[in-house]
Amino acid sequence: MTGGRFEGRVAVVTGAGNGLGRGSALRLSQEGARVVAVDIDEAAARRTAAELPGEAVAVAADVADEEATARWDAAAVAAFGRVDLYHLNAGIFGTFAPLPELTVEEFDRVQAVNVRGQFLGLRAAFRRFRAQGGGGAIVLTASIASLTGSADLLAYQTSKHATLGLLRGAALYGGPIGVRVNAVAPGIVPTDLFAAAAGTVGGKNDMERRASTTPLRRAGTPADIAAVTAFLLSEDAAYITGQVVSADGGASVVNTVRP
């Protein structure tokens, strides 16, 4: 399928080489966007760009690196002349660790990619929209860990709670100048990140058990999340900004405090 809601639009997707970013790039491309696939893994970014049905370029960049931000912005403009849509999705999970065991290095590493990376992406997006003299739309990838807590996931959930701070500040700044900013909060989606997490909490079966206890009784797919991202980036969401939309099979509304 080509054509659709993003015909004539240019979309930057970070972390586009795998998982949810790849799914998002695919969906946006299927609906007509020209895509800039940004990933720290150059081969993965190239693979995604090559498999999209529409025009796409791959850019190797670390979203946590301030200098790299200018590089992927310049690459997007060189390829397509402008950017209209951003999915700031790249993120890492870190490791499960009880609070007394969590190292400063691990804490900082996760914040650098997940928080500084999304801040730099937002700043680049707003600077681009300003240079273009117009608005646009941005989606941040949050998480069920933006809304809930876990005793051994401090670094990751701190970073994903920070996503909501970035979201609200950016939405309030962007509203009056025609920029909408929203977030999608996935639950469990089997991706490389998910597999790495599973490896630190008893393996695949534990994650399968978690997925089977969500209200919708299954894990999510990258396509489930991409559908929400595409909606939020589209004109169908023209009156929505500053919102976090959970796409988690209902997991975030379960009250576990019951007899």
Active site residues: 156
- Report the residue number, 29 or 141, with the smaller CB distance to ligand NAD: 141
- Find the binder of ligand NAD among 31, 62, 84, 224 (CB under 6 A): 62
Q: Identify the sign of the CA torsion 29, 35, 41, 42.
A: positive
**Interaction of residue 92 with ligand NAD, rule CB under 6 A:** yes
**Interaction of residue 157 with ligand NAD, rule CB under 6 A:** no
Interior angle at CA 7, CA 137 and CA 76, nearest 5: 60
**Interaction of residue 40 with ligand NAD, rule CB under 6 A:** yes
170, two tokens: 């950016």
- Find the binder of ligand NAD among 85, 181, 189, 233 (CB under 6 A): 189
The phi, psi pair for 252, rounded to 5°, reads: -75, -10
Stretch in the footprint of ligand NAD (CB under 6 A) among 2-10, 37-45, 128-136, 237-245: 37-45
**Interaction of residue 44 with ligand NAD, rule CB under 6 A:** yes
The phi, psi pair for 232, rounded to 5°, reads: -65, -30
Q: Identify the sign of the CA torsion 196, 247, 22, 108.
A: negative
- Find the binder of ligand NAD among 75, 115, 194, 245 (CB under 6 A): 194
**Interaction of residue 63 with ligand NAD, rule CB under 6 A:** yes
Whole-angstrom distance, CA of residue 82 vs CA of residue 90: 21
Whole-angstrom distance, CA of residue 241 vs CA of residue 137: 9
- Find the binder of ligand NAD among 29, 111, 143, 241 (CB under 6 A): 143
Stretch in the footprint of ligand NAD (CB under 6 A) among 27-35, 126-134, 183-191, 230-238: 183-191
Residue with tokens 């080509």: 2
Cβ atoms within 10 Å, residue 6: 24
- Report the residue number, 177 or 216, with the smaller CB distance to ligand NAD: 216
- CB of 22 within 8 A of CB of 48? yes
Q: What is the arrangement of strands in the sheet containing 136-141, beginning at the earlier edge strand? A: 56-60, 34-39, 10-14, 85-88, 136-141, 179-186, 244-247
Residue with tokens 């240019």: 10
**Interaction of residue 64 with ligand NAD, rule CB under 6 A:** yes
Q: Which of residues 13-32 bind ligand NAD (CB under 6 A)?
A: 14-15, 17-21
- Report the residue number, 175 or 231, with the smaller CB distance to ligand NAD: 231
Stretch in the footprint of ligand NAD (CB under 6 A) among 4-12, 59-67, 78-86, 229-237: 59-67
**Interaction of residue 122 with ligand NAD, rule CB under 6 A:** no
Binding site for ligand NAD (CB under 6 A): 14-15, 17-21, 39-41, 44, 62-64, 89-92, 113, 117, 141, 143, 186, 188-189, 191-194
